[in-house]
Structures are given as structure tokens and as C-alpha cells.
Copies of this chain bind each other. A is one copy, B any other.
Amino acid sequence: MVTALKPRAGQLPEANDQGGAIEQARYVCALGAMQTAAAIPRTIPITHCGPGCADKQHNALSGANGYQGGGWGGAGVAPSSNASQREVIFGGTERLEELIEASLKILDADLFVVVTGCIPDLVGDDVGSVVRGFQNRGVPVVYAETGGFRGNNFTGHEVVIRAIIDQLVGPYKGPREQGRVNLWSLLPYQNTFWRGDLEEIKRLLEGIGLRVNVLFGPESAGVGEWRAIPQAQFNLVLSPWLGLETARHLEGKYGQPFLHIPVLPIGAKETGEVLREIAAFAGVEGSAETFIAAEERRYYTYLEAFSEFYSQYRWGLPARFAIAADSTYALALSKFAVRQLGLLPARLIITDNPPEELREAIRAAFQVLDHDVAGEIEFIEDSYLIHERIRTASFGHKPPLIFGSSWERDLARDLKGFLVEVAFPTSYEVVLARSYAGYRGGLALLERIYTTVVSRNA
């Protein structure tokens, strides 16, 4: 049976729909945005989908990717309709209503986010009408249509964010709080280091004198923080494209300005520049300089110590690197490697399938890795092709450094290179609060890269 699809709610960026087959997947489907909900403290996703859908998405993200764990309300906790033949044939709205009702009896959350899988989106369940029924009763519940065929968990993430803003936060006409910022950056769970990175970014922004709605992870105050979104002075998008749509939506909805900085900063050089840009936008230049000076003092003390290793390690350091990662980390790591380590890119592959209309801007961001280094990127999601491209890259006479995922373990072994796992799936690292962002993350990243190098050598 061929089913006529409903148009999706709202005007969201189209997922790239031209994708061919994918070997060794590097992201999950839009339903994976259940973990976007789970990343908000005391928020629980309700998954309206087939019996294996939720399990697959959260297992991949929380289990096979740094062993992050699924979170308080994700992983095995999240309710699921586990849709069966009956829901396919007769529709699943009744089942969903029953499930939400039961969830309210059993679960103790500040917010429920209904996310849908392929089945309801294909058979045409009117999920909105079910959820609106609960909303009218004052239940904190929103819904987002995230059927797997609609896109990946990156686009699903923005659908969920918009659902919360439109259905929970709603209109706002009150005053703005000068110095408060909403942060839109890494994709929770998909990025292996999101918790530590968001913590570091929050620390940096607070350091220069801002107050931060970090919105996701251990440092977020939860749903209250979401309700405060419209009060912020501005939105900060710290990523090449993810979050941009959200910021535009907020601009339209609340007249809230946004600052878009494509580079998640790693290391003192980039971090200082980014913080100064933010400080100028927010009008907190003075406090920013004091903070930057203190951070740089510490950072460069360590860097000076590290330089003894970097300048005289005897057994071969890599000189060129390849990356296969999502746009945000690919750009962040490339900038750090080029500008602050003096490495050259041998192959740059973007794996998160950004919307077509944003690709030119992403390409442009990589063109200026440094004043004298331009990076050419390729958008590929199929690991077989990615590995072919890295195999044919030229790493000079030195062992390759590969920033990638666990899919690259065999490749790195074959190329006698060094693999630093930074992208989904990172299945050979246990990651808790570690961060690779900012000042502290830059040092941790140096430790990780060069520990990988020296420990492989005998």
C-alpha cells in the first residue's frame, strides 16, 4: 500500500532527501531526537513507534557512543506504544492516548515530549489532536513528528526544540534580561562529549559575564530554563548549521536577535577570538578580557610544558590529519589542528548530512581554516566511501592522524595511523565529563591525541 503523507507541521528545513545507501551508519533517524528530550533534566520522551524503534535509537546513542548512559528519562525509561499490526491497520491514536494517560500515572516528570516513528507518520495518526487534548488539561506535554524517513536525529533535534518552544513556552511579550543568552550548539548524545563541552562553554560564557540558558545536560536547570528562553538577550548558535533554524525561528517569534559563530572553539587562540566576538555582541568586553587573561595564563603554562614533548618527541608525530565527523566537530577540530597544532588537513569529510541550502556556508567556513590554509570538504555519510576517500588521501611521510568514529579502527590499523574517536559511534571510549572544547577541553584533547600517539608506539 502506498500512503499519502501528511505535510509536516510548520516549515522546517528540508532534510537532504537525495541520500543513497549508507554502510555503517553515523547517525540515527529523526526519532533519535527522543534523546534531545531526555537531555533536558526531568523531561521524558514518549515514543509513538514500532517496538524496536526507540530501543535502537537510544542504545546507539547512549550505549555505543562513549557509554554515556541514556539519562534519567531516556533509555529504558521512555514509554513507547510499541505499535503492532493493529495500530498499522486501524491507526494508533487511541493507543497513544492510552499510553500518555498511563504515563502520567506512572512517571514523575516536568515535561513529556511525544515523538513519532515511521508507523504513525505513514498511517497518518493525528498525533497533534491527541496531544492537544492533554495540553488543554494543563498537562506539560508537547509532540514532534520525527518519523525515521523524515530525516536524521540532527533535523529531529530542531523539530523537537521547535515543538517545545511553540507548544510549551509559547508567546512572550515581556522584558529581556540583558546578559542572558540561549545556547544552541552540539547535538546531545550524538556528540560523544556534549555534556562536558556544554559545561565548558557555559563556564566560558559565565566567565565573560553572561548568564546562560544551556538547556541540555547536567548543567541545565531544566524546563524552567526553557520557559525563560524568550527573556534572554540573544541566542548564540555555536555550530556551522545546527541550531540556526531554531535561532531564526526565535528571531521571528520573539524578535530575539542571534549571533551565529560556526566554530565551536578549542584551544586558547580560537576560544579567545570567539569569546571576544560574543562579548562584543553582548556588550561585556571588559569582564571578558579579565577572564581571557586568567584562562590564557593557565592554558599557556600547560602548553609551554607540552611544547617540550611536541618539539622533541623522538618517535614520529603525525603532520596531516583526516576527519570524518559531523559539521561542528569537524570544523572545530580542523581549526584547532591547523591553527594551533600546525597540522594540515589531508581529508575532510562531513558526515551529518546538513540541509542542502546551508552547505555552501559550511564549505566557506572550512575555506578559511587559517589565513593560509583552506580546507576542501566532502559531504559523505556512507562509511565505505568515506574509508575509500581517506585511504587515497596523502599523509606525506608521516603516520596519519584520523579524527573519526569506531568505524575507522580497521582503517587506522591498515594505514598504521592514529585514531582519535570523536564522532558517533565512539565505542572504544568511556566518556563522562570529558570535554574537548574551550581552554580546558583543548588541553584534554592534546592529552588524548598524543597519548594515542605515544601509547601505540610500543
Q: Which residues of A contact B (CB under 8 A)?
A: 62-63, 67-72, 75, 195, 218, 298, 301-302, 304-309, 313, 427-434, 440, 443-444, 446-447, 450-451, 453-455
Q: Considering only CB atoms, which chain B residue lies closest to A298 in the complex?
A: B218
User: In the complex the two chains form, what is the Cα distance from A103 to B117 in whole Å?
Assistant: 74
On chain B, the residues within 8 Å of A302 by CB distance are: 195, 218, 432-433
On chain B, the residues within 8 Å of A451 by CB distance are: 428-430
Interface residue from B431, B433, B454 paired with A427 (Cβ < 8 Å): B454
On chain B, the residues within 8 Å of A440 by CB distance are: 433
Q: Considering only CB atoms, which chain B residue lies closest to A448 in the complex?
A: B430
On chain B, the residues within 8 Å of A72 by CB distance are: 304
* CB-CB under 8 A for A432 and B447, given A68-B305, A308-B67: yes
Q: Which of A195, A308, A434, A454 has the most B CB atoms < 10 Å from its CB? A: A308
Indicate if the CB atoms of B428 and A455 lie closer than 8 Å: yes
Interface residue from B306, B433, B446, B454 paired with A443 (Cβ < 8 Å): B433
User: In the complex the two chains form, what is the Cα distance from A431 to B450 in whole Å?
Assistant: 9
Q: Considering only CB atoms, which chain B residue lies closest to A452 in the complex?
A: B430
On chain B, the residues within 8 Å of A434 by CB distance are: 444, 447
Interface residue from B62, B308, B454 paired with A308 (Cβ < 8 Å): B62
Q: Considering only CB atoms, which chain B residue lies closest to A312 in the complex?
A: B63
Q: Nearest Cβ in chain B — how far from A292, in angstroms?
A: 17
Q: Considering only CB atoms, which chain B residue lies closest to A69 in the complex?
A: B305
User: In the complex the two chains form, what is the Cα distance from A230 to B163 in whole Å?
Assistant: 61
User: In the complex the two chains form, what is the Cα distance from A72 to B440 in whole Å?
Assistant: 21
Q: Considering only CB atoms, which chain B residue lies closest to A217 in the complex?
A: B301
27 CB-based A-B contacts, threshold 8 Å: A62-B308, A63-B308, A67-B313, A67-B450, A69-B304, A69-B306, A70-B308, A71-B305, A75-B308, A218-B301, A218-B302, A298-B433, A306-B430, A427-B454, A428-B451, A428-B454, A428-B455, A429-B447, A430-B447, A430-B450, A430-B451, A430-B453, A432-B444, A432-B446, A432-B447, A433-B444, A434-B447
Indicate if the CB atoms of B432 and A305 lie closer than 8 Å: yes
Q: Which of A72, A306, A455 has the most B CB atoms < 10 Å from its CB? A: A455
Q: Nearest Cβ in chain B — how far from A78, in angstroms?
A: 14
User: In the complex the two chains form, what is the Cα distance from A454 to B70 in whole Å?
Assistant: 18
Indicate if the CB atoms of A309 and B454 lie closer than 8 Å: no
Q: A302-B432, A430-B447 are in contact. List 12 more A-B contacts (CB 8 A).
A: A67-B313, A67-B450, A68-B305, A69-B306, A218-B298, A306-B430, A429-B451, A430-B450, A430-B451, A430-B453, A433-B444, A434-B447
Indicate if the CB atoms of A429 and B455 lie closer than 8 Å: yes
Shortest beta-carbon contacts, A-B, top 4: A69-B305, A69-B308, A67-B309, A430-B450
Q: Nearest Cβ in chain B — how far from A283, in angstroms?
A: 30
Q: Nearest Cβ in chain B — how far from A419, in angstroms?
A: 10
Q: Nearest Cβ in chain B — how far from A281, in angstroms?
A: 29
Q: Nearest Cβ in chain B — how far from A365, in angstroms?
A: 28
